[in-house]
Chains A and B, each alone.
Chain A
């Protein structure tokens, strides 16, 4: 039987001279009907361009297929070479044979049409359904992607839905034409981990139901372990390895695959947690946070508030010198707001922050998530590094220059970096620069707010190693905020799990990860993709985060804590 899709020696280039600027340089693979191929690689590896070439969407991004062939077997049994097809044929292929879902569910839906209208349009274009037939078809599609209460959701606009729901709508639109091949380009990267697990489960179930083939593009090899039949690993525009999933994961042949599997943080449920924590010895905490509360008023009238968003609601923790406290939680759980409140970037409603520092005027410094946004593009590295010192009354003298070159060296950047500008560095280098800058004032505590989340996976691993080295060398305490459990496991001594503005579980990292007690922690940990757990099956779960908008004067009930071991406390769950 001939395969559904056969790609042979595919070359794709960009720009005025596509031959000279090839991004994909000879990729071949076959995909049979009903099979799932995962394309794994880091940014710039050509994985998305390969996928976009299959339905020739790459043309609209300025790309040209410069060589090779893509043969698609169409529904009527004829074979079509995509590389030479006309735009008219391609339009039919895109609608009826190949469906696609994208990374950003926020931007792939039109904000001014209801989701019902958008699904109906897909049905009208691809299946010639109109009127009542299209409406009931749309309802059917929403049911199929397991959107609860589908009938009333048809009239919703995209902004009224959460990210996970929007991605389901995107999937519904892609499936509207019953495609035989679905291309999913990082469909869960922008989503929270529990939502990601649900989308993955949904895709797996839909594949069973419809028998469609799937191409799944991702940077996270752990994520596809449970869903893919075959894995293709790409690096620098080449497919460096492709084989059955088990073969690639258990017996990787290429160095790069091995690197992806070993160097990159993978979640291991506490096995990789650090055990060099300073807790237990006779040291005084460097930071104590007591009953931290941050609220944002809701409503237009400042004198008669309609209520408030309880972004952070009574958070307590302490931090020892040389210790990392990882704060994990999903978007909206208040973890970033906690960090900003500690740095006084956001006003605290209540709460005490005790800092005992001996060595710096500004003992708490911060590294932000986006290394492209946190450095002023118009200043060179010397000015960027000098800023904290100058702000605190130092003069730009030889001693300051010496400290700058010392720190640059420590974070692994060349000394000649001083005269260069941020845009001349890669994302990982910029983040090293941000770390060096945070260390300029010799702080006791560094708050790392998703500091490695924007980086490629193998760069992530290197920056994490650097952070651990620096922690040992300077005795730094870290407050490490992340949604990525695998990353937190690598660096944290202790972990605090945040949910709806409150800490629900806190304690020794190994204890929390291997033996979660709170139901939310359990759900969070179960959702983390892991190579070891690739044969487990996720069930769909539509639990929603409760609204954090509370009426004026509302105070949460007093937290009751339960000891679950030496250094491990769990908040008792109240039935609401």
Chain B
């Protein structure tokens, strides 16, 4: 919890955290049905209305409330981003740890495999998965998770290699500690800080990738509201109804900004070189 309070003391951390909290709140309200209007209901007489006291962010071509749809969309995007990043963190950490621990041959094999994955753009990978399982939420999660796994593997492997040679690992060997204990308590526990930073930054990119996939129609399918989908639906109405594009675009941008600011702040706080200065 010291981390949270340190985040709030950090100037950009405070802004980033504020944005994230607002997004989480919006998603939560939408999830329990507390949107201003029904996101799927079509107010046919109020089609393409600009922002007004009734519809704060206007309505779309079918007369659906933009704000309500945005709130649901945020939830959808965050769900996919969190799920994908969680999968990537777990898979990447395990691969990176094992590559560092086993070393030599296994290190080479696992890390070259990661390099191959890293060479694929997310969109291309998503196309491949769609060819196999068809479009949808699951596709987005899998594609994003696979794309981010090598990044986590790299983040973990480097420091794990140096931790492996530290005296406390040798000390654990002299007691006869199990490999699992050494890997989790001595290596992974010391990697929490770099992982936390990477998770936050990856969330920002996952948010963007998810929007991109949905925009192309590869991710979330209508009528489920999604930020990328809303952007895609609004692109032909840019002239008549600019708010339809403006609000989802701003939402994506601010969301990415929020996670990035938090990630940068976390990096500052957790970096041992800056720790002396704040204390």
Contact = CB atoms under 8 A, between A and B. Distances in A.
A388 B186 contact: no
A343 interface: yes
Interface in A400-453: 434, 437, 441
A43 interface: no
Interface in A491-518: none
A322 B181 CA distance: 33
Interface in B224-274: none
B175 interface: yes
B172 A387 contact: yes
A368 B175 contact: no
Interface string B164-181: 001110111111111001
Given A368-B167, A374-B167, A391-B178, A345 B173 contact: yes
Contacts of B170: 340, 345, 366, 368, 374
Contacts of B133: none
A213 B80 CA distance: 71
B189 interface: yes
A373 B167 contact: yes
Nearest to A340: B170
B175 A376 contact: no
Given A368-B167, A370-B167, A391-B181, A376 B174 contact: no
A537 interface: no
Interface in A431-486: 434, 437, 441
B190 interface: yes
A368 B170 CA distance: 9
B238 to A, nearest CB: 52
B189 A376 contact: yes
B176 A362 contact: yes
**A interface: dominant SS:** loop
B176 A391 contact: yes
A387 B175 contact: yes
B185 interface: yes
Given A374-B167, A376-B185, A441 B175 contact: yes
A403 B167 CA distance: 24
A57 interface: no
Contacts of B181: 387, 390-391
A392 B176 CA distance: 7
Interface string B144-176: 000000000000000000000011101111111
Q: Which interface residue of A375, A391, A441 has the most chain B CB atoms within 10 A? A: A391
A373 B164 CA distance: 12
Interface residues of A, number: 28
Contact of B175 (A362, A375, A383): A362
Contact of B174 (A366, A379, A390): A366
Nearest to A379: B185
Contacts of A370: 167
Contacts of B185: 376, 379, 383, 387
A373 B167 CA distance: 6
Contacts of A375: 168
Nearest to A369: B167
A373 B166 contact: yes
A340 B174 CA distance: 10
A391 B177 contact: yes
Interface in B214-228: none
A388 B190 contact: no
A455 to B, nearest CB: 15
A374 B181 CA distance: 16
Q: Which interface residue of B167, B174, B181 has the most chain A CB atoms within 10 A? A: B174
A399 to B, nearest CB: 18
Contacts of B178: 391
A388 B174 CA distance: 9
A145 B172 CA distance: 46
Nearest to B166: A373
A202 to B, nearest CB: 34
Interface residues of B, number: 18
Nearest to A443: B174
A374 B168 contact: yes
Contacts of A392: 175-176
Given A345-B170, A368-B167, A368-B170, A376 B176 contact: no
A378 interface: yes
Contacts of A365: 174-175
A345 B174 contact: yes
A377 interface: yes
A343 B167 contact: no
Q: Which interface residue of B168, B171, B173, B189 has the most chain A CB atoms within 10 A? A: B171
Contacts of A383: 185
A368 B190 CA distance: 20
Interface string B29-59: 0000000000000000000000000000000
Contact of A391 (B167, B168, B172, B192): B172
A366 to B, nearest CB: 5
A390 B166 CA distance: 21
Q: Which interface residue of A377, A383, A437 has the most chain B CB atoms within 10 A? A: A377
Contacts of B189: 376, 378-379
Contact of B190 (A345, A364, A377, A437): A377
Q: Which interface residue of A340, A365, A376, A390 has the most chain B CB atoms within 10 A? A: A376
Contacts of A362: 174-176
A375 B185 CA distance: 12
A376 B168 contact: yes
A532 B51 CA distance: 93
Nearest to A389: B175
Contacts of A437: 171
B190 A376 contact: yes
A390 B174 CA distance: 13
Contacts of A368: 167, 170-171
Q: Which interface residue of A340, A378, A392 has the most chain B CB atoms within 10 A? A: A378
A373 B172 CA distance: 12
Contacts of B167: 368-370, 373-374
Nearest to B165: A373
Contacts of A344: 173
Nearest to B168: A376
A41 B176 CA distance: 40
Contacts of B172: 387, 391
A159 to B, nearest CB: 20
A388 B168 contact: no
B171 A366 contact: yes
A382 to B, nearest CB: 13
A138 B173 CA distance: 50
A571 B185 CA distance: 46
A302 to B, nearest CB: 11
Contacts of B171: 366, 368, 374, 434, 437
30 contacts: A343-B173, A343-B174, A344-B173, A345-B173, A345-B174, A362-B174, A362-B176, A364-B174, A365-B175, A366-B171, A366-B174, A368-B170, A373-B166, A373-B168, A374-B166, A374-B167, A375-B168, A376-B168, A376-B185, A376-B190, A378-B189, A378-B190, A379-B185, A383-B185, A387-B177, A388-B175, A390-B181, A391-B175, A392-B175, A434-B171
Interface of B: 166-168, 170-178, 181, 185-186, 189-190, 192
Given A361-B176, A387-B175, 7 more contacts: A343-B173, A374-B168, A376-B185, A387-B177, A388-B177, A390-B177, A437-B171
The 6 closest A-B pairs by CB, nearest first: A388-B175, A374-B167, A391-B177, A373-B167, A378-B189, A368-B167
